[in-house]
Amino acid sequence: MKRTTALRLFSIATAVTAPLLFTSCGEKKDGGGDDNAQTENTDTPDSLTDELIVQMNALADALATAKDKASAEEAVKKIDGIGDAVDSIATRLDKLETPSEEGKKALNQKTDKAQEAMEKKMGGLIGAMMSNEEIGTVLGPAMEKFGERMKKHDPIFERFGKKK
């Protein structure tokens, strides 16, 4: 794979995962009438942040499975599923009140650690992706699509944590 394609793929992966790790603490809005009352009763910014971290780790794991064109195509299916999960988490997160600055700071410390680990994990994938151009041609568009999906959630994620 061309070095620029691999770096572009890494840049896309980092760009779409970093904002997702920047959610923070807050109180719930009054749920009145939502058809998913059980979820509303259990969701907290902390629990949803944990779910986002799990999904971002799953994204890195999915990318790591791409060893050739066929496995890259399977990884794309996983990436689409991760996008669906993040969409759901963002919807649930949006139902919570904007956190205090103290709450944001506390959870940002948690997400900073997760982001460091994610960057290490993602950085290790570049070598493997650089060795096979097929992988980049399959994963590149999938990650761009994933990034576009995640971009629509930026206002939610920014409300709950660090700005990009």
Q: What is the tens place of the pLDDT at every residue in 109-157?
A: 878 888 888 888 877 776 666 678 889 889 989 999 999 999 999 999 8
**Domain spans of the chain?**
3-26+43-159
Query: Does pLDDT of 20 surpass 70?
Result: no
Decide: helix, strand or coil at residue 96.
Answer: strand
Determine the angle formed by the axes of helices 133-151 and 69-94, rounding to 10 degrees.
10
**What mean pLDDT, rounded, does the chain reach?**
78
Residue 2 CA: distances (Å) to CA of 12, 122, 136: 15, 17, 9
CB atoms within 10 A of CB 62: 22
